[in-house]
Chain A
């Protein structure tokens, strides 16, 4: 498909929808249509709005239209020895930049490199009034005006239709190895805490129920010295295949039709008293649970861990998929929604039932 700029056509569609007060369902590749509460509204298709607009490898910046396939961006970066350091999952072939940012999806490297939101430098969007607005830019440091670009990350399109996103990119690590350690979850959690206080070149930590996996990234000598300190067995994972399968949820753990819960919590939180299948990522800060447990029980178990639970796949999407917010925060959310989308036409109900 050819690169093209559909900004004006998309704007017309938003204007028409705002006039008619008809909800829009923003989509492009459809790779994340499983995520969030059940989508409703007329489709607003960004699939054709694609193309890399600017890529300056020595400035570590890239700007692309929202409908640009992630795969295309990653290929271009790879040719220049660079990467999206937040290692975004695709989940399906059509994954685009816009959807990735709207969901704030990040992969195994997240605790060490940062999330999608940490790499967003600027964006161009259409708000619910059909206005095309630009925020941030293509520079690392920019404190002019409120940080609307990062506000878009994880907003699931409820505040604006992303047209373009500018990102910070980083060099690919010189080398990467994966170690396997035959230890249980409890022991892994303790070990991960100890490693967190040392300057080790760790770029991923996982326990999949069978063993603990450690990925090290950096100059070869640094990686091999760290591997000596960590121990375990060096796995033949040259292509990063284990982490890729994990990231894309193609690891056997995710092969289920039962509800899949995503629990984001303090890395040092003890194992939660919930029955089901568990997988630990992000050094303990991200935990996946496959269980038929009621949402209330899952959220109650989080207790004082300072975390939150998302019904990630399967299960009842008509309910509260995301952790309900305290009243004060919900009021601010509703007012912000009103500030960007007064007619309430952008992906209504996808994030919370109230808006």
Chain B
């Protein structure tokens, strides 16, 4: 198994024949093949990469998905699954010789089981819709990626999505109990069940975050939690990022696990303040937002302790939201950080590395040095509790060479994360975006092991080819061209 297939044969597929065959499986309106109909599927949330699929299909039953997969498997046609297309790493970027499998029509909540505190949902159900449906019963679904209003649960599982509450409530993998998936051979598999564990290997964990490389998700059973009795947020201003980072460590050392713990640097604070007027201190070098939740007594106790810790850690100012309105206002600035940065720059590029938090001051210093080197400004937004960095690189795609410089800069940031013991992606996935950095994070035998896992599910390499795990060949070439690494990413992709 030295070099298993990961990229499906690039030999040309007979499109008319494929379309005819698909139309025998699906109603006419569920098979899109005209250029203008395919256009909406050309990219996901990482819009710098675009590609038209050969054909888009919109099945609405599991049997149809199975039939499509059997057909594609038989004909050697690549399949790329897509939910809402909000992903930020190009995981749903179509394959030009492949079928784009949209799960948009799988949008039903199949059951809310209040006795078991679980919901059985189709993959195209929006993340927030689950919590909305459960709210009447005092329950909710914990993971809340910032795109939760639009992103779908199937995509969340494929990417193992996080959000601002991960430190306390975990990622998608901690909050799902069962999956139904269809393999590339068209077989329907049930993974997990009604119990807290399942016999055999933990395929639930293996499939979560597998970026559509192993199987297509057609049903998800998520865990629901009781809505906490109360949530309270504190805002603290600091005159240095290092001091803010130290405050985070002090809160955790005191035995408190906040529900959310977010940090923003000066540029992010100012952009957010100009945009939504959240009342942030504009002159602070960094602010921390710390939310504690739980029972009434627990929250009172923790608010008291966190206030004291923040002050003892050198905060120049600590505010506690007086009511729900003010709590929402504190969060509004953080939640609007990305669009706020979008207002001050024609384009921005969102990075997603994770580091052991103790290296934060050093990493931010290095990012600032790189920012000067590349002549591109950076705003930093940070899930401080779990070490997940989101540097936003400001650029202008209309200026020749700026996107390339941005990507080179981004690549250096990710390599920096790996160097301090972190990872190239905390929650956005590898997709096409970070495929080169996978060569930095993993050695050849590890990548070969990934390919062997892929082959166990998809021997022909038809599911989402070219994503998530680079070929050893690609890494070898990058290694050989080390000087140019990052300046020539994805030479086979079109540029816009």
Contacts and interface: CB of A to CB of B under 8 A. Distances in A.
Interface of A: 56-61, 81, 104, 110-111, 114-115, 117-118, 127, 131-135, 137-148, 150-151, 153-155, 159, 170-172, 174, 193, 196-201, 218-219, 221-222, 225-226, 264-269, 282, 285-286, 305-308, 310, 322-323, 325-326, 328-329, 332-333, 335-336, 338-340, 342, 351-352
B288 to A, nearest CB: 15
Interface in B175-193: 178, 183, 187-191, 193
A10 B388 CA distance: 35
Contact of A267 (B116, B170, B248, B425): B116
B337 interface: no
Interface in B403-424: 421-424
Contacts of A141: 162, 166, 171, 354, 383, 386-388, 423, 426-427
Contacts of A352: 200
Contact of B189 (A140, A196, A329): A329
Contacts of B452: 339-340
A354 B79 CA distance: 32
Nearest to B468: A145
Contacts of A264: 195-197
Contacts, number: 260
A142 B426 contact: yes
Given A143-B428, A322-B200, A81 B195 contact: no
B423 A137 contact: yes
A151 B356 contact: no
A104 B197 contact: yes
Q: Give me the 7 closest cross-chain CB pairs, A-B, nearest first.
A: A306-B194, A266-B194, A150-B205, A171-B255, A58-B249, A335-B456, A141-B426
B167 A269 contact: no
Contacts of B248: 58
B195 A147 contact: no
A151 B201 contact: yes
Q: Which of B202, B203, B249, B455 has the most CB of A within 10 A?
A: B202
Interface string B236-273: 00000000000011101101110000000000000000
A146 B210 contact: yes
A24 B138 CA distance: 51
Given A268-B115, A285-B196, A154 B386 contact: no
B203 A329 contact: yes
A57 B426 contact: no
B294 interface: yes
Interface in B201-257: 201-203, 205-206, 208-210, 213-214, 226-229, 248-250, 252-253, 255-257
A310 B197 CA distance: 12
B131 interface: no
A326 B189 CA distance: 9
20 contacts: A56-B356, A59-B249, A118-B174, A133-B449, A139-B356, A139-B387, A139-B421, A141-B426, A143-B423, A146-B453, A151-B206, A155-B202, A171-B257, A222-B294, A222-B301, A225-B297, A322-B199, A328-B187, A338-B456, A342-B1
A199 B294 contact: yes
A221 B294 CA distance: 12
A189 B160 CA distance: 33
Contact of A144 (B139, B190, B425): B425
A197 B117 contact: yes
B453 A339 contact: yes
A155 B453 CA distance: 15
B334 interface: no
Given A133-B446, A222-B301, A174 B255 contact: yes
Contacts of B201: 151, 154-155, 159, 333, 336
Given A140-B387, A174-B255, A310-B199, 14 more contacts: A58-B249, A61-B356, A115-B196, A133-B443, A139-B354, A139-B426, A146-B209, A147-B205, A159-B201, A221-B297, A322-B200, A325-B200, A332-B456, A336-B456
Contacts of A339: 1, 449, 452-453, 455-456
Interface string B128-140: 0000000001110
A187 to B, nearest CB: 15
A60 B170 CA distance: 13
Contacts of B209: 143, 146-147
B104 interface: no
B423 A225 contact: no
Interface residues of B, number: 98
B429 interface: yes
Contacts of B350: none
B229 A144 contact: no
A286 B196 CA distance: 8
A268 B116 contact: yes
Interface in B130-181: 137-139, 159-160, 162, 166-167, 170-171, 173-174, 178
A202 to B, nearest CB: 11
Contacts of B228: 199
A132 B183 CA distance: 30
A106 B178 CA distance: 19
A268 B116 CA distance: 6
A333 B302 CA distance: 46
Contacts of B200: 154, 322, 325, 329, 333, 351-352
Interface stretch (B94-102, B366-374, B434-442): B434-442
A90 to B, nearest CB: 19
A266 to B, nearest CB: 3
Nearest to A149: B205
Interface string B63-91: 00000000000000000000000000000
Contact of B457 (A151, A268, A326, A332): A332
B387 A135 contact: no
Interface in B108-123: 114-117
Interface string B434-471: 10001001110110011011011100000000001100
A230 to B, nearest CB: 13
B425 to A, nearest CB: 5
B198 interface: yes
B205 A151 contact: yes
A33 B224 CA distance: 36
Given A151-B205, A226-B295, A143 B426 contact: yes
Contact of A266 (B116, B191, B298, B429): B116
Contact of B469 (A135, A145, A225, A322): A145
B484 interface: no
A96 B164 CA distance: 34
Nearest to B451: A339
B253 A57 contact: yes
A144 B430 contact: yes
B39 interface: no
Contacts of B357: 58-59
A143 B160 contact: yes
Nearest to A193: B115
B277 interface: no
A222 B297 CA distance: 5
Contacts of A200: 295
Contacts of A132: 445
Given A147-B206, A322-B200, A329-B189, A305 B194 contact: yes
